[in-house]
């Protein structure tokens, strides 16, 4: 077996590096051609009975909390899903899905800096007050979920 000439080997390495860069660019894209919506929407109105996900004692004013609740998808199947809660004042709880609008990783309440929601996959930050993407590669706001306070319980409507 003969080794390729240095010129051929250089061309091969150059082609390989270029192909690798193209794959990396595709992997970092959001995978969609539509522009994501980063305009905060109004919280949806609660419909149905709702699911108790926590209590006011566990969600003090000004704090954030990650919870799970069963959610029925478009295909009719129900499974546990992750949600993020924020309580801006005594009478309000805001809720969002924890699905990052960049590439779908789980967004958490634990940011390395500040009090925003955070996706560790590629470092996106989302405002708890409206779900808007404010830093990192995500360009779309988190999906809002209907939430309500009943007595001492916090309910989600999913
Ligand atoms: S999936 Fe990339 S920042 Fe969340």
Q: Ligand 1: residues whose CB is within 6 Å?
A: 100, 102-105, 119, 121-124, 136-138
Protein residue closest via CA to atom 1 of ligand 1: 103
pLDDT value at residue 28:
41
pLDDT value at residue 32:
44
Question: Which regions of the chain are under pLDDT 70?
Answer: 1-35
Protein residue closest via CA to atom 3 of ligand 1: 122
pLDDT value at residue 134:
97
pLDDT value at residue 85:
98
Distance 156 CA to ligand 1 centre (A): 24
Distance 103 CA to ligand 1 centre (A): 5
| Strand extents, DSSP E, 57-105 | 64-72, 78-89, 92-97
pLDDT value at residue 7:
43
Q: Which atom of ligand 1 is nearest to the CA of 136?
A: 3
Third-level CATH fold of 51-157:
Rieske Iron-sulfur Protein (2.102.10)
All structural domains of the chain with their residue ranges: 51-157
Which token pair is 72? 């029925």
pLDDT value at residue 34:
60
DSSP 34: S
**pTM, entire model:** 0.77
Strand partners, 145: 95
């Amino acid at each position: 077996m003969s080794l390729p000439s240095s010129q051929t080997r250089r061309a091969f390495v150059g082609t390989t590096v270029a192909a690798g860069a193209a794959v990396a660019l595709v992997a970092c894209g959001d995978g969609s051609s539509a522009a994501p919506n980063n305009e905060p929407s109004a919280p949806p109105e609660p419909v149905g009975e709702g699911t108790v996900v926590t209590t006011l004692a566990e969600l003090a004013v000004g704090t954030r909390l990650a919870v799970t609740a069963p959610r029925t998808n478009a295909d009719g199947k129900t499974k546990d899903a992750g949600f993020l809660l924020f309580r801006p004042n005594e009478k309000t709880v805001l809720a969002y899905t924890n699905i990052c609008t960049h590439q779908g990783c789980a967004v958490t309440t634990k940011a390395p800096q500040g009090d925003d929601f955070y996706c560790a996959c590629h470092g996106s930050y989302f405002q708890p007050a409206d779900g808007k993407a404010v830093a990192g590669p995500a360009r779309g706001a988190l999906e809002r979920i209907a939430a309500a306070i009943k007595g001492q319980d916090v309910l989600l409507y999913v």
